[in-house]
Structure 1
Amino acid sequence: MADKLNQYRSKRNASRTPEPVPEEPPEPRGGASFVIQEHHARSLHWDLRLERDGVLVSWAIPRGLPADPATNHLAVHTEDHPMEYLTFHGQIPQGEYGGGAMTIWDQGTYETEKWSEREVKVVLHGSRAEGRFVLFQTNGKNWMIHRMDPPSRAPLPDVAPMLPSRRSRLPRDTAAYAYEFAWGGRRLLVPIEGGRTTAAREHPWLRALAASFGSRTALLDGELATLSGAEVLVFYDLLYDDGRVLLDEPYEVRRAALETLDLSTPRWQTAPSWPGDARPVLAAAREQGLPGVVAKRLDSPYEPGESAAWLFIPS
């Protein structure tokens, strides 16, 4: 019987990688486990591995499992992996095959509905991956993965930015608002899905931001501002978070969710926000030569277009 791990071994040096590299051929067994690993290699992707005849039959999925039956995702059929890979996670050294960080995104069991050379239909039972999927071969060696269940989450909303109304003075009920600097930059909504963002077409440096989210899907609202001579993306709202649409949530709830993302690097960061007293914020905006402040009602939903719930007060 042919050794199903020959191709796997030929791509790895056991003395240079922490990956399991068994010396003996695999022995057939009848289990039905699966693992999905998030792999930050040369490009971010997810590896789906299904136990079959003593090995893990594997596909690399650049955008992760599809959440909606209307969208199929590419699935690149790769070499079979050893059963020890069910629990593998760690740092594959750069320069080695698949170099980069690998973590376990989900694991569990699966049921087989069909298994042929060109089509694999399974039901996954994991904590994050749950449902019916089919992997099918297209022209040549290409494979795709299709979700057969209804959508597993709400789709990313297509929404226009919320804009402040201009006022000459601060609101009277100051305790009902949070206050932020008006940055005087260019507004940018950033959708992130499958570790990628369409905003990177114009701003390639945002690829790193999207990759840092892994499989987490989000829609961020922010502004490209110039701070200390450098362009920085300042985020001040979160409109969608991993399947949950936040547009109808109060601003203070959206703001709290944004802060849990801990966005803080030299190129992107969370904008500071101060609830309550606006006077020191306005004074600081004047000192820094900023256009003014934006007062945001703590109880306001996200309303596309100009809204009286957000007020721009010039400095």
Structure 2
Amino acid sequence: MADKLGRYRGKRDPRRTPEPVPEHARPPGEGDTFVVQEHHAHALHWDLRLERDGVLVSWAVPKGLPPDPRTNHLAVHTEDHPMEYAAFEGEIPQGEYGGGTMTIWDRGTYVTEKWTDREVKVVLAGERVSGRYVLFHTRGRNWMIHRMDPPAAGWEPPPSPLAAMRPVTRTRLPRDQGAYAYEFAWPGRRAFAYVSGGRLTLHAGSDDITGDHRRLRALGGELGSRAVVLDGEVVPLQGDELYVCYDLVYDDGRSLLDEPWSRRRAALEALSVRGARWQTAPVWRSGPQDVRRAAREQGLPGIVAKRLDSRYEPGAESAAWVYVPG
């Protein structure tokens, strides 16, 4: 009988990696376990593993399982993994095969509708993903994965193309100061950050400026599988650059354009966008004169007052946001 785990063991040294390295595959069981693992290796990807004849047949999916049947994702067929791998989470040492952090993104059971050397149809039932998917072979180790069902109830595609909401300019702060929150105005280039499948795309108006800001691409990996659209600015900073985000207009399958600013801000803060080259803009709910003074002291253009109940108005110059120069 062929050793189903020969390739797997040949790539791993059990003295150097915490991954399970059993001597033999398990006897065939129920055959209905699946797991999706988020793998922060050299390139972020997701590993889809389906139990079959005592092993986990595996594909590396660079952008994760597609939520929308209109988009197929690449799936690279890899070596069979042992059943013990379905419970594995941990840090694979750098320099070892697949070095990086492995976490379980989803798990559950599945039903096989078709399984051949070139096509696999399954119905997944997990905590985060469910529905009918087909994997079909294209060339070499490359396959594609396609969602056969409609998107999950309530799921929406990201808004695109999207024009930025702009503030009106006033010399004085709003009278009803308690109805607003206050942010610094930033001296940068306005840009939407589209993140999906761990990949970042930056758009300034209709221009794709991702290639101009390669050092910001790692933001996609920081957000993992979360699909979001952020509004913010690329700010030059002492020979480097910083992406300052101050609004969240799309979050994991849900448009937030009609949500009030206060709810969008709460969702943005929950993302915890913080790093060496990106941050969430600070905000104050009171003391606008102090905020304006601090902006002046730091050499910033001024402040922006945003109504707590304001929806996001793409492309509009809206009185719900007020820019007051320093």
TM-score range, shorter chain: over 0.9
The letter for the 2-side match of 1:156 is P
Task: Write the deviation string for residues 245-288 of structure 1: whole angstroms up to 9, x where unpaired.
Answer: 11100001111111111222221111111113311111112222
| CA distance in structure 2 between the aligned counterparts of 1:87 and 1:246, rounded to whole angstroms | 35
Indicate the residue corresponding to 2:215 in structure 1: 205
- 1:189 pairs, out of 185, 188, 192, with 192
- What SS does structure 2 have at the residue aligned with 1:155? coil
| CA distance in structure 2 between the aligned counterparts of 1:19 and 1:248, rounded to whole angstroms | 46
Shift of 1:230: 4.1
Shift of 1:25: 4.1
Matched, 1:224 2:234: yes
The letter for the 2-side match of 1:136 is F
Q: How many residues align?
A: 315
Shift of 1:202: 2.5
| CA distance in structure 2 between the aligned counterparts of 1:300 and 1:213, rounded to whole angstroms | 26
Matched, 1:165 2:168: yes
The letter for the 2-side match of 1:129 is V
- 2:247 pairs, out of 215, 223, 237, with 237
The letter for the 1-side match of 2:179 is A
Which runs of 5 or more residues in structure 2 are unaligned?
Answer: 203-209
Task: Write the deviation string for residues 192-249 of structure 1: whole angstroms up to 9, x where unpaired.
Answer: 0000012243211122111011111111111122346642111110111111111100
Matched, 1:308 2:311: no
| CA distance in structure 2 between the aligned counterparts of 1:111 and 1:42, rounded to whole angstroms | 32
CA contact (8 A) 2:25 2:55 kept: no
The letter for the 1-side match of 2:127 is S
The change in CA–CA distance for 1:25 and 1:224 in structure 2 (over 3 A counts) is: closer
TM-score (norm 1): 0.97
Over the aligned positions, Cα root-mean-square deviation in angstroms equals: 1.2
Indicate the residue corresponding to 1:296 in structure 2: 306
Which runs of 5 or more residues in structure 1 are unaligned?
Answer: none
TM-score (norm 2): 0.94
Moved more, 107-116 or 149-158: 149-158
What are the within-5 Å matches in structure 2 for residues 258-273 of structure 1? 258-273=268-283
Indicate the residue corresponding to 2:88 in structure 1: 88
| CA distance in structure 2 between the aligned counterparts of 1:274 and 1:141, rounded to whole angstroms | 53
What are the within-5 Å matches in structure 2 for residues 36-75 of structure 1? 36-75=36-75
| CA distance in structure 1 between the aligned counterparts of 2:301 and 2:25, rounded to whole angstroms | 69
Shift of 1:3: 1.1
CA contact (8 A) 1:3 1:26 kept: no
Identity %: 66
CA contact (8 A) 1:176 1:276 kept: no
Indicate the residue corresponding to 1:253 in structure 2: 263
The change in CA–CA distance for 1:142 and 1:226 in structure 2 (over 3 A counts) is: closer
The letter for the 1-side match of 2:320 is A
